[in-house]
Amino acid sequence: SQQGEEDPQALSIQEGENATMNCSYKTSINNLQWYRQNSGRGLVHLILIRSNEREKHSGRLRVTLDTSKKSSSLLITASRAADTASYFCATDSSNTGKLIFGQGTTLQVKP
């Protein structure tokens, strides 16, 4: 399997703190994407970073990509209770809609 690894598996923080999740993958990629999933529902696309990009921002989200280390990180700043969810990274190596997902990080933000 080409599935990547995410760490930590679980993260618990207080509202207002920052949350950082890391993702490592095994093969070369075209892009890497981050998704959020609430309680076993559908996944919500958060951000896509292409292989030639190093950093990308979207609101309170900051994603970095290091292709030499085959790793990415997702930073959520000033977290809110509503950010409580599972977060997954997914790699796209073929631009054909096939995504390889990591195991996910479960984030709990305490009010």
Partner 1 sequence: KAGVTQTPRYLIKTRGQQVTLSCSPISGHRSVSWYQQTPGQGLQFLFEYFSETQRNKGNFPGRFSGRQFSNSRSEMNVSTLELGDSALYLCASSTGSGAFFGQGTRLTVV
SS3 36: strand
Q: Return the residues of window 24-43 that contact partner 1 according to CB under 8 A.
A: 33, 35, 40-43
Q: Considering the rule CB under 8 A, would residue 10 count as an interface residue with partner 1?
A: no
Member of 16, 17, 94, 110 binding partner 1 (CB under 8 A): 94
Select from 18-26, 51-59, 68-76, 92-100 the region that touches partner 1 (CB under 8 A). Answer: 92-100
Task: Tell me how far apart the alpha carbons of residues 43 and 14 are, in angstroms, rounded to a whole number.
Answer: 24
Distant-in-sequence, close-in-space partners of 63: CB < 8 Å, separation ≥ 6: 32, 34, 47, 49, 55, 56, 57, 72, 73, 74, 75
Q: Considering the rule CB under 8 A, would residue 87 count as an interface residue with partner 1?
A: no
The number of angstroms, rounded, from the C-alpha of 94 to the middle of its chain's C-alpha atoms is 19
Member of 68, 69, 97, 111 binding partner 1 (CB under 8 A): 97
Please report, as ranges, the residues that interact with partner 1 according to CB under 8 A: 1, 3, 33, 35, 40-45, 48, 88, 90, 94-104
